[in-house]
Structure 1
Amino acid sequence: MANDHRLGILLISTTPPERLPELARLCEELGFDEIWLAEDYFFYGGFTGVGQALAATERIRVGLGVVSCVARHPAVAAMEIASLGRAFPGRFLSGIGHGVPAWVQQMGLAPRSPMRALEEAVTAIRTLLTTREPQTSEGTYFTLRDVALFHPPLANVPLYLGVIGEKGCELAGRIADGNVLSVLAPTEYVSWARSLGLRGMSQAGRSGSFSVPTFVLTAVDHDRARARTAVRQSLAFYLNAVGPTPLTGVIGINDMVAELIAAGGYEALLDGMPDDWVDVLAISGTPDEAAARIEQYWAAGADSVILSPQPAESAESQLKLIAGDVLPRLNR
């Protein structure tokens, strides 16, 4: 598959950590290009999970999307990133974000200005990864005093943000190599976020490529109705959890999302969401339909489409079905 048209799998947070190595090996054996893990609090540790997946495989790239910028001091995050980058050169992709507000608040770490905290953290991480001289800086949220990595990476480790708003997407272009896009992102949002990232790059005088790996809720089945039912349930869960956001605002459904949440949350969303929401917010249906939808995401600018198989209890069967019946249908 072309380097700018990759297909990956998200190993969701409910996956028991002891199963990550076998699932990572399966993804590699089936021919996927990437594996992504998310550090959702308080499931499995993101860096630990990535290390397990990398150690269990030989060629596949493994991404972390994303770790909260306030859950670890940037010097500690840089140390973790550098260690994985050295141990598995060219295979680790690291994402940094705000973190889900509710989880961050549970730890008493919510910053007054999440955007400033994120920019400070990522700037410090990149500096430590690329500079061998000890660094001293005093920021609003993070302090470095003569900090240098003893084992810096031997090659570049891509740093992505994981943000959804206009300012965040522009910031990704200014300070990062890309932006990891959340589930619920329609193709319209992918194009919008990528254009903002490129604008941020231009503002910062940066050149090169800008990556937008995109997580997408996915269910594939020769029984079209069964696949759409599985995705519909997941969409209702996520829409109820996050509410109206720029992800759904870009296609003009935020008012209806808010109305359904107010009318009864998950159940109201499950019963009341229009069928076309399944079409635009997910990948679902037959292998032919799934392949066509993946190519739409690529065409919108998602260089890497990261499938999140639904339902979770049939992850292996979904992986095998996608590899056997969807991959051969894609234009490579």
Structure 2
Amino acid sequence: MAAENPTSSDSSGSNGSSDSSPTWGIELTPEHPPDRIADLAALAETEGFDVAFSSSHYFNRDPFVTLSRMAERTDSIALGPGVVNPFQDHPVTLAARMATVDEISEGRGVYGIGAGDRSALSNLGFEHDRPLRRVLEAFSVARDLWAGETVTHDGTFTAQDASLNLEPTEIPVYVGAQGPHMLRMSAKHADGVLVNASHPRDLEWAADQLEIGLADRPDDRGPFEALAFSSVSVADEEAAAREAARPPVAFIAGGAAPPVIERHGLDEAAVETVGRHLEAGSLSAAFEAVTPEMIDAFAVAGTPETVADRFEAILEFVDGVVVGSPLGPDLEVAVEQAARALEQAQV
């Protein structure tokens, strides 16, 4: 896998403009032991997924350790963190860990990097200062290090004569983004973007922001791929799928910006209630406070047929879909059903 062809879809732009097949991605959350996540990655590869991300949250298992197990169990699927942030780990250290994953997977690495969750970083005592600049500097320095350069950097972080004792490599960079400025930056500088959205309305808006960034993209940067990084829950019973979507939807709703809430016509008081419960650490109450309208706005949840219809609508605006947490009430079944839904969405 090369940086100019980040995934197997050979995508050339955003907004679903490519004539090639959409990229299929999956997010595997290491809230389970690495061996189980590796089994799920192997299943995803068998089911035709192009890339598997191991999500990164300080309260779960380490994503890079998990990725090493995923690499052992797979042969062709691209692998990477989805996504790390350059606040709780130094960008040079992240670059070394990512290069190691690329090495052990024989060139299948994909670097998912973003600004991180403000509340989670606050729990660890990290300031969320100048996130766009920090992300851009972090992956720019990583690219230089992967190319075998010795780097001295003085910006949002510092590095003095840093280099990696690894063979030079090229690793595609995908930026996790949701706000307008991060979306535009990713389109200008990165190889791809992971748009944190599940609804076509949000992805249509994001596509407009990406077009602004692409207008300033250097000609020598290569193709750019936009992927919807969507919260997905699929099951035979729609009620079971929607119930499993409550936890991720609560966290998404609790951190949603006012324009997003307004875009979906959500009850502001109901959203605030979810946020208050989360801030108080009352997770069960927060999940219970999630409304059906929030699930509709912030997740792709339902039967395989329902999910396929939503995927088809999403693919009007992006080059592919990353099937994100929670996947569904039964993980193995959900991987298979999500693959069928993606197939159906392309018919």
- Normalising by structure 2, we get a TM-score of 0.81
Measured after TM superposition, the shift of residue 52 of structure 1 is 1.5
Contact 1:217 1:309 in 2 (8 A): yes
Residues 147-174 of structure 1, C-alpha deviations (whole Å, 9 max, x = no match): 22232443x2111222321111112123
Return the offset for 1:259: 4.5
Equivalent of 1:226 in 228, 240, 243: 240
Distance across 2 between alignment mates of 1:84 and 1:235: 27
Moved more, 2-11 or 75-84: 2-11
Deviation per CA, 1:69-122: give whole Å up to 9, x if none: 122222222222222223324422111112212332233331432333223222
Match of 2:224 in 1: 210
Q: Which of 125, 150, 162 is 2:176 aligned to? A: 162
1:113/1:88 Cα in 2 relative to 1: closer, same or farther (>3 Å)?
same
Structure 1 residue aligned with 2:157, among 124, 142, 152? 142
When residues 260 and 108 of structure 1 are mapped into structure 2, their CA distance, relative to the original with a 3 A threshold, is closer
| Structure-to-structure mapping, 1:186-197, within 5 angstroms | 186-197=199-210
> In the alignment, is the contact (CA less than 8 A) between 1:190 and 1:212 conserved in 2?
no
Distance 1:14 1:67, change over 3 A: same
Q: Give 1:308's match in structure 2, choosing from 325, 328, 338.
A: 325
Out of 261, 286, 291, which is 2:274 matched to? 261
Corresponding residue to 1:319 among 335, 339, 344: 335
* 8 A Cα contact 1:187 1:280, kept in partner: no
Which of 152, 173, 192 is residue 178 of structure 1 equivalent to?
Answer: 192
Q: What displacement does 1:293 show?
A: 1.3
Report the CA distance shift for 1:263/1:118 in structure 2 as closer, same or farther (over 3 A).
closer
**Greater mean deviation of Cα atoms: 13-22 or 289-298:** 13-22
Structure with the higher fraction of residues in helix conformation: 1
Partner residue in 1 for 2:71: 54
Distance 1:241 1:133, change over 3 A: same
The answer for unaligned runs of 5 or more in structure 1 is: none
2:55 is aligned with 1:42: no
TM-aligned CA distance change 1:52 to 1:241, over 3 Å: farther
Instruction: Determine which of 166, 184, 187 is the counterpart of 1:151.
Output: 166
Q: Which has the higher contact order (CA 8 A, sep 6+)?
A: 2
Taking only the aligned residue pairs, the percentage that are identical comes to: 26
The equivalent position to 1:126 in structure 2, one of 122, 139, 143, is 143
**2:346 aligned residue:** 331
- Given the two structures, how large is their TM-score scaled by the length of structure 1? 0.84
Please tell me whether the aligned partners of residues 50 and 63 of structure 1 are also in contact (alpha carbons under 8 angstroms). Answer: yes
Figure out how many residues of one structure are paired with residues of the other and give that number: 324
